[in-house]
Structure 1
Amino acid sequence: MRRYVKQVNAFLLASKDVRQRRPVQKLRLQMLGRWHENIDEWITTAVAKWGVEDFEFVSDDHCLGYDLKQLDAYRNLWLERLALTNCEPVCAYNCLTAKRLTKLSLSDSSYTGMVNDILANCVQLTDFRITQSSYYRANFFIYAPSSKLKNLQLDRCNFGKIYLTCLPCLETFVCRGRPTKLSYGEVPQLRRVSLDYLQTEDNDIDDESGSKRTYPPSKFFKRVPQLDCLVLQFKGPQMWIEPFVVLSEFAQPKKLFIGNVPVNWDALWILLLLDATPALESLHVHIDNSWEERSAGDLCDGLDAGARQDRYRHLKEFVVAGFEGLGWQTGFVRLIMKRSPLLRRVHLLDGEVRDDEQELGALQIVPRRREWHECERAEVLDDLTAGFRWPPQIILE
């Protein structure tokens, strides 16, 4: 550890001539163990003397404190993004340095629950990311009527319900973690919502009833405003979405991306969600075939007979990743085709999804080449188009 301290000192405490010859815009500093005597000097030197624009500090296994007010004594600071892990700002953000920040990321003990105070003091903040600690909180309220925040990201979320009471400039909301109920208040600029929920054996028991915890889809869209894009990843070894709860029409997103759908889940919840979004123009569904195989057939065949022909009257683009030509998958695609009179192109391919690094909350499909035997390909295409007078173009990869 002493050697590490010497190496950091040799770099950070270099002379002004050295700093000018090798300017640094982004710096990540990691602290190991309980050696914290140098923290104040290191952070102050990195931000004030090196003039970094993007600074990240990580303390492993031990929470430290740093007073951001120390930086107010310096002029011409370039700091725009601050990321802290296990480092709690002593000043609670009521300082000039905090007012200059445009991006803030807090993890573990750096987050003390004072979100509204942070947003009130960080008046220039546009991007805010919180990685929640392991303890559970029933409710989480955000009320920041003067905030300029555009992007809010909650990772490892461990809340029962989140209330976005007032964020007038919010455009993108991303929530990852255990299934969390949502209530949307004054968020008139919100255009993209991305929910990545995983329910496991560790968090699937209802504390009151003692039974398996399930959720109707409406619990995640209460008072949701008009959206352009909705991205959903609902995952778990057992299905926790209540598939028979009919949704009333809610936000009118033009694009819906449903990723990592476990292959052993019933597809009915997706159909009910589509019924509640009649303005949809683009639908992407990714099937995660790594989960255990489906033990019983889904309800697509039963719904197929009574399907209304024009239910998804605005849908123009339909993509299914993870398509393997299974009977239930074919029935699901046929049902969407029957209900979409404007659909002209269907793209079916093998592949996986990953986070889009260029766009917060978005997913992108990573294609995986599948070798279809000609007879198998012909059989799948015949099953998909049987009974259609003018079927859409089907691209099977």
Structure 2
Amino acid sequence: MPRLRRMRPRRAVEEDRLSALPEELIRLILSRLDTRSALSTAVLARRWARVPRELPAYDFRVSDILLPEYDQTVALRRLNLPRDEALCRIVDGPMASREASTMRAFVDGVTGFLEADGGAARRCPKTLRLEFFQTDDGGRIVDRLITTAVGAWGVEDLEVAVRPAFHGPAPGYGIPLEDGDRSRLRSLMLGNCTLPPNLHCYDALTKLVLRDMAASTPADVYERVFSECARLQVLHLTSCGCVGDSLVVCSQIRELVVEGCSFMEMELRDLPMLARLACLTNTVELVFGSVPCLTHTNLTFSVEGDPLVLPPVPHHHDQLNQFLDMSPTMENLVIRFTGPKTWIGVKKLDKPLLHLKRLLVADVPSNWDVSWTRTLLMAAPSLEVLHIHVAHSKIPETYGIIWSRTSQKQCHPHMKEVVMIGFTLTRLQMEFLKYVVSTCTSLQRLVLLKDGCVRYHGLWNWDMIGEQQECRWRDHDKREVRRMIKSGPSPLVELIFG
């Protein structure tokens, strides 16, 4: 007798299991997706169609729909490859066509988004991020999206970046906001755009980020930012150009970041509230006036010169020395040295850094004598944490720095922790270590790592990370270091080799 099979009852056709998911789970799933993918989930279930309207941020980026081959071709063309002109024309034609077709798809997608539910869809994002190629159709739909987002939806954080077409005209996009809408923005980022007029109408703006401003931008355009944005607290300038030799800064801002800019000189004339400063380009000469509240600083020096021949005029030590002398309130300092050929000279500071607590000296060329950091130690009587990162190099350790040998010692009673990455037990490094352990009377933690890196958390915080590998220290070297440390004024709580 054949065995009867038990048949499961079929579920009703109208059952929607995706819509039956809890609201919190749907929101969690959508929060992990980019905007394009989150909006596409509307086709999955009826209930999912309305949830993307409640997302706190919308991202519309033309990069998300560009094929990977486009970026690869752009990278080759920037290297002037291929060399043959006929091949260049063959490559460039499809690139222009791809930019145009991508923008058509971008315009269609944004148009469909704006016209959902007859254009009456209620949305409540706080952030809108846009990236697009500048075309006639693209400009019109972007204008419509920005005015709708700020005026009707209440967007407060706006980011607009024009991606330059490889063979297109230079971008010159300006955001189209009315006076009433301008006053709603609290954060604004502009990339490859023109600075809007009537900045005084942006009276709620507290953060402004400018990227890739043209080299033809007059200096007074930037100075208008300081004079007209009354509530501005944070200003970031990245890869910005300027007509004129000097940019004068007078403002109530609290944070200033300058990175990769081509300004010749930036005069910080009157910044009574400035607390955080990062200058990540050596082409900008900082001239300090009044910065009485500066506490967190990040400086990057890229100094060129022959690493084996002492330059006749080591002018960059004057810039560093001038800066440190003008920042007596500093508590947290990061100094980085970048570039294939670097030099620095440090002389005694005219004014002590009485409030400095944490100091990182990173990317120090391995051929330098790290003893020069004693200049900073002697000027910082309250220093508690000293971190030094020595970059690996095939150049042998030399006196590649202006450092006058002296037997002078100064007690550092507040020093608690010293970490050094790139410690190789050379004679000059051992002399510096001997100085540290003999003068830091309260030293509790000493970490000596042969390999590792600095992990940055933002611009003013960091961790010293050692490589996860077997310790390559010889027993003889460990005994020599321990013997040196025991001769110090007080025993260490923790000693780590790595």
Structure 2 CA distance for aligned equivalents of residues 213 and 302 of structure 1: 17
Equivalent in 174, 180, 194 of residue 66 of structure 1: 174
Give the SS at the match of 2:389.
Answer: strand
Identify the structure with bigger relative contact order (alpha carbons < 8 Å, sequence gap 6+).
1
Structure 1 residue 382, shift from structure 2 partner: 1.9
For the pair 1:27 / 2:128, whether they are aligned, the reply is yes
Contact 1:315/1:340 (8 A) holds in 2: yes
Match of 2:199 in 1: 93
Match of 2:49 in 1: none
Match of 1:257 in 2: 360
Give the SS at the match of 1:279.
Answer: coil
Structure 1 CA distance for aligned equivalents of residues 482 and 195 of structure 2: 59
Contact 2:343/2:400 (8 A) holds in 1: no
Equivalent in 290, 303, 324 of residue 186 of structure 1: 290
Structure 2 CA distance for aligned equivalents of residues 195 and 40 of structure 1: 38
- 1:396–1:93 Cα change, 3 Å: same
Structure 2 CA distance for aligned equivalents of residues 300 and 197 of structure 1: 16
For the pair 1:195 / 2:293, whether they are aligned, the reply is no
Structure 1 residue 246, shift from structure 2 partner: 2.9
Looking at secondary structure, tell me which structure has more strand per residue: 1
Match of 2:415 in 1: 315
Structure 1 residue 345, shift from structure 2 partner: 2.0
Equivalent in 119, 125, 134 of residue 226 of structure 2: 119
For the pair 1:287 / 2:390, whether they are aligned, the reply is yes
Q: 1:19-53 CA distances to partner (integer Å, 9 max, x unpaired)?
A: 43xx4333221121444343422322232233323
1:103-182 matches, cutoff 5 A:
103-109=207-213, 112-113=218-219, 114-133=221-240, 138-144=245-251, 147=252, 149-178=253-282, 180-182=284-286
Match of 1:237 in 2: 340
1:209-358 matches, cutoff 5 A:
214-216=316-318, 217-243=320-346, 245-252=347-354, 253-289=356-392, 291-296=393-398, 303=405, 306-308=407-409, 310-349=410-449, 350-357=451-458
Residue type of the alignment partner of 2:420: V
Percent of matched pairs sharing the same residue: 27
The normalised TM-score by structure 1 is 0.82
User: Unaligned stretches of 5+ in structure 2?
Assistant: 1-102, 165-169, 306-310
Structure 1 residue 346, shift from structure 2 partner: 1.0
Residue type of the alignment partner of 2:330: L
Structure 1 CA distance for aligned equivalents of residues 412 and 206 of structure 2: 41
Structure 1 or 2, whichever has the larger Rg, is: 2
Q: 1:64-83 CA distances to partner (integer Å, 9 max, x unpaired)?
A: 23255x33244994x32110
Structure 2 CA distance for aligned equivalents of residues 143 and 48 of structure 1: 32
Give the SS at the match of 1:280.
Answer: coil
Contact 1:179/1:197 (8 A) holds in 2: no
Structure 1 CA distance for aligned equivalents of residues 279 and 400 of structure 2: 29
Equivalent in 48, 62, 82 of residue 188 of structure 2: 82
For the pair 1:385 / 2:483, whether they are aligned, the reply is yes
Q: 1:193-227 CA distances to partner (integer Å, 9 max, x unpaired)?
A: 111232358xxxxxxx9988643331333422311
User: Unaligned stretches of 5+ in structure 1?
Assistant: 202-208
Contact 1:351/1:367 (8 A) holds in 2: yes
Contact 1:181/1:220 (8 A) holds in 2: no
Give the SS at the match of 2:203.
Answer: helix
Residue type of the alignment partner of 2:417: E
Give the SS at the match of 1:27.
Answer: strand
Residue type of the alignment partner of 1:2: R
Structure 2 CA distance for aligned equivalents of residues 367 and 123 of structure 1: 45
Structure 1 residue 233, shift from structure 2 partner: 0.8
Structure 2 CA distance for aligned equivalents of residues 108 and 66 of structure 1: 14
Residue type of the alignment partner of 1:317: E
Residue type of the alignment partner of 2:438: K
Structure 2 CA distance for aligned equivalents of residues 296 and 119 of structure 1: 46
Match of 1:2 in 2: 104
The normalised TM-score by structure 2 is 0.67
Structure 2 CA distance for aligned equivalents of residues 344 and 166 of structure 1: 40
Contact 1:132/1:157 (8 A) holds in 2: yes
For the pair 1:11 / 2:113, whether they are aligned, the reply is yes
Match of 1:206 in 2: none
Structure 1 residue 247, shift from structure 2 partner: 2.6
Structure 1 residue 13, shift from structure 2 partner: 4.7
Structure 1 CA distance for aligned equivalents of residues 244 and 325 of structure 2: 20
Q: 1:226-248 CA distances to partner (integer Å, 9 max, x unpaired)?
A: 111111112232232124x3333
